[in-house]
Amino acid sequence: MKQLSKEMNSRAVRKLDRFAIRITMLLAVLTGIALQSCGTAPPDEILKKAGQGAIVFVRENSVESNGNNAMKGNPNEYHPGTDLMLLSPVSATGELTNLTEQYTREGQDQERNYGHACDPEVSLDGKKIIFAMKKNRNARWHIYEMNIDGTDLEQLTDQTEGDDMDPLYLPNGQVMFLSTRPGIVDEYERRPSPLVHVADRLPDGRLTNIHQVDFNQSHDANPMVHSSGKIFYSRWEHLGNPNKFSIFVMNPDGTRTFILYGNHSPRQSGSRVFLEPRELADGGLVCSVMERNSPFEGGAIGIIDISSSDDNITFISPTTSPFNNTNQESRAVFKSPHPIFDNTADANNREKIMFSMSPHPVNDPDTEERVDYGLYVMDKNGDNLRLIHNDPAYNEVDAVPVAPREELPGGLPKVIPTDPNVVAGRANGATTGMFFDGNVYDRATNDGQMRPDPNHVNVDGTLGQAKHLRILEAVGMPISGNRRGGPMGNTNLEKQRIVGYAPIRDDGSFSVEVPAERSLHMQTLDENGMMLVNQITWVHVMPGEKRLCTGCHDSHARDKIIGDLEIQTDFSVMNKSENRQYNSGFNNAVDVSQHVAARTDTVDFFDKSNPGRTNTVQAVFDNKCVSCHGLSNPSGGLRLANNSSDLQNEDEETSVYDFLTTDNNYRTVDGDQIDYVTERGARRSPLLWAMFHRQLDGESGDYRIGSYDHSQLWVKNNGHIDVWNPANRGLLMMIEWADMGNQYSNSTD
């Protein structure tokens, strides 16, 4: 991504500089105000004048213990004595009411065991609050609801396993929330993963018919309902690179999940995260922006035009807020933005942004890295910053206006009905859904991956470089037991297994049937079954869903949110924006699990706990290669046989694995050093070049042609290796291992 000075015009840059100066000048004043009573600051009557006379917020008891970062969810953020507060009217002289202390102190005589209430959302009619609460140290996080004044508390969930958090009301009467009920840990931190669920309500308000609707392998966070009726939320993606929180969109029933913003932005910062999205009056978003490991969950405030592509964010917080490791002195950290209206202001300034800010420098030894978040408001362009409320003993965050949704930016959300295919699928006990893509060659240009050539001539004379599709599934780590499942290996990719394969049609389309409610991703493959393009986000289908693959492929203008494609009654697909008909559509979908090369196990390099396993890469070497590449005087210096020490420590990879994947042990014709097997896949790995006796990546001049033609080891069809022949299963396993990121272990055993 371009530097900030290049992202904005000079006027915007001057505005940010002025804001930075104002922040610096205001720090002493604001800190002095905060250290006095909360009622001595000049009142701010914005919400009161707009008819929005109150806010509910979280008074978090964390100023002495806030070590949070963006990668932590509620189960990792228990601060006893944290409550929901009501401020009415919204001014520094407003009346402050603790809504939850009667519940978070109930039955407890020690402060360390008090409860923690958080994640408030106001009902669409403005009369109730739904929130998450952990009633005491030994309790689970459950979903609760109460009146705006804190009365009539109702517990909506009562699960005994997992934690429920971050709820919101849906316009169809359902409730959406995050939960660790699925019982997996994230791929990176190995913490329980909160994932999006949706539930119906019983007559007494309790939640029932609870379904998981997002199948990410890491955290989901901050779901919100957009005026379109769609759900926007932050999602931690860790499928190799990137490793970050982007903003996703989906229908409330879990269909048509799609990356909305942030997967490729910015290029120089793979760990930038976009959290806490809220809708602006024009349908765009305001959100917090920080680094994945930003301290105190603080960073900048940015505005995103979702009708455009990545790299369009406009920051309204000062240049010194630490949104991108700028190495500038941090004057303040920001979080929890929420748009509000001031209907008494002129037309250009009616929309304001309420937010939390801590004026303390992030790394000031004099403050022992404390923060003191208070509530503030500023104009949408970043001007006119004012204090609403601050108590220096607490962090005030997650403020939400108490008002009917129709009076807030964005207005009342539309209702998106459940996909009828999913309704029928659930009724029929369906366990699969379908993906359709009109043309794999119609690709976005900004993901840094190659663009397959539709005019490429293959060895059999056919046209089109993309010939096959590989479907992979995440292998979720269980919360209990051996969570890592053995050594991961020298890779950024996480545990996964191969579900199956399907052909790509001559016109570049595919239609496949895949397991429903699973974390999946796809790879397009060349004629040798080797990866061309690797999908870098997890996707899923709901039972019975017919899912249109767009985003990487075909037209995907962001303001349409995948709305330009329609499934016809004959299961063909119409692109409305281009008036183009895909007759193939969902017709003749291929069940990938029935492909001859589909598998139910994982691809592992070796298994020290079961060294006799025959379905490992090392077993292929033992069967095909060690006669020449054994322990004694291996050919070309390449030893592919284990020695005695390789069978000892189960927590270490073998020396054969390390030799192939590290230290650049292969010397090219020009004398350059590269790994035998690279994370860039089989096509770019010299070990596979040797198996085919030629360079495979379309380049030349790297492969050293050996004295032995290793292609003789494999069965051929018309003189060419047929990777789909069952007799060549060992070769395909080597290809799969390389294309899956060279992991040592993909199992959970």
- If asked whether residues 196 and 121 sit together in one domain, one would say yes
For 152, 178, 235, 320, 427, the CA distances from 202, given in Å and listed in that order, are 17, 19, 29, 49, 20
514-525 pLDDT, tens per residue? 999 999 999 999
Alpha helices (runs of H) in 93-237, residue ranges in sequence order: 101-104
- If asked whether residues 345 and 220 sit together in one domain, one would say yes
477-502 pLDDT, tens per residue? 777 645 455 567 777 677 899 999 99
48-97 pLDDT, tens per residue? 444 457 999 999 998 876 666 655 666 778 899 999 999 998 877 789 99
Q: What percent of the chain has pLDDT over 70?
A: 82
175-224 pLDDT, tens per residue? 999 999 998 887 766 788 899 999 999 999 999 999 999 999 888 999 99
- Report the alpha-carbon distance of residue 307 to residue 488 in Å, rounded: 39
Give the residue from 86, 81, 89, 87 showing the smallest Cα distance to 63: 81
745 located within any domain: no
Q: Where are the strands (E) in 41-123, listed by range?
A: 55-60, 83-88, 95-98, 116-122
- Report the alpha-carbon distance of residue 238 to residue 431 in Å, rounded: 26
Residue 264: left if φ>0, alpha if ψ -120 to 50, beta else—which one? Answer: alpha
What per-residue confidence (pLDDT) applies to 394? 94
Sequential DSSP letters for 450-465: ----TTPBPTTS-B-S
606-637 per-residue burial string, b: 16 or more CB within 10 A, e: under 16: bbbeeeeeeebbbbbbbebbbeebeeeeeeee
User: Considering its fold, how many domains does the chain have in total?
Assistant: 3
230 band by pLDDT with thresholds 50, 70 and 90: very high
Assess whether pLDDT exceeds 70 at residue 559.
no
- Report the alpha-carbon distance of residue 177 to residue 76 in Å, rounded: 17
524 and 452 Cβ atoms separated by less than 8 Å:
yes
Instruction: Determine the average pLDDT of the residues in 409-421.
Output: 93
639-694 pLDDT, tens per residue? 999 999 999 888 889 999 999 999 999 999 999 999 999 988 999 999 999 999 99
- If asked whether residues 400 and 431 sit together in one domain, one would say no
Instruction: State which amino acid sits at residue 232.
Output: F
- If asked whether residues 518 and 493 sit together in one domain, one would say yes
What per-residue confidence (pLDDT) applies to 29? 32
- If asked whether residues 223 and 366 sit together in one domain, one would say yes
- Report the alpha-carbon distance of residue 374 to residue 361 in Å, rounded: 14
Assess whether pLDDT exceeds 50 at residue 17.
no
CA angle 60, 65, 71 (to 5 degrees): 80
What per-residue confidence (pLDDT) applies to 242? 67
Average pLDDT taken over every residue of the chain = 84
- If asked whether residues 399 and 424 sit together in one domain, one would say no
Return the number of other C-beta atoms located less than 10 Å from residue 698's C-beta. Answer: 12
91: domain CATH number is: 2.120.10.30
Query: What is the DSSP code (8-state) at residue 20?
Result: H
What per-residue confidence (pLDDT) applies to 35? 28
226 and 232 Cβ atoms separated by less than 8 Å:
yes
605 located within any domain: no
Last residue in a domain, options 407, 441, 456: 407
Helix (H, G, I), strand (E, B) or coil at 590: strand
- If asked whether residues 503 and 393 sit together in one domain, one would say no
Assess whether pLDDT exceeds 60 at residue 555.
no
What per-residue confidence (pLDDT) applies to 130? 98
- If asked whether residues 709 and 735 sit together in one domain, one would say yes
Both tokens of 694, joined, read: 């030629």
Helix (H, G, I), strand (E, B) or coil at 366: helix
327-355 pLDDT, tens per residue? 566 678 899 999 988 766 777 778 899 99
499-516 pLDDT, tens per residue? 999 999 998 999 999 999
Instruction: Determine the average pLDDT of the residues in 3-27.
Output: 35
CA 727 from centroid of its chain's CA atoms: 39
Instruction: Determine the average pLDDT of the residues in 15-33.
Output: 37
Q: Domain of 550?
A: 420-594
Assess whether pLDDT exceeds 50 at residue 542.
yes
268-317 pLDDT, tens per residue? 455 678 999 999 999 999 999 887 766 677 888 999 988 766 567 888 98
- If asked whether residues 46 and 149 sit together in one domain, one would say yes
- If asked whether residues 540 and 632 sit together in one domain, one would say no
- Strand ranges of the sheet holding 565-567, from the earlier edge strand across to the other edge: 565-567, 573-575, 580-582
Share of the chain residues as helix, strand and coil, in percent rounded to the nearest 5: 15, 30, 55
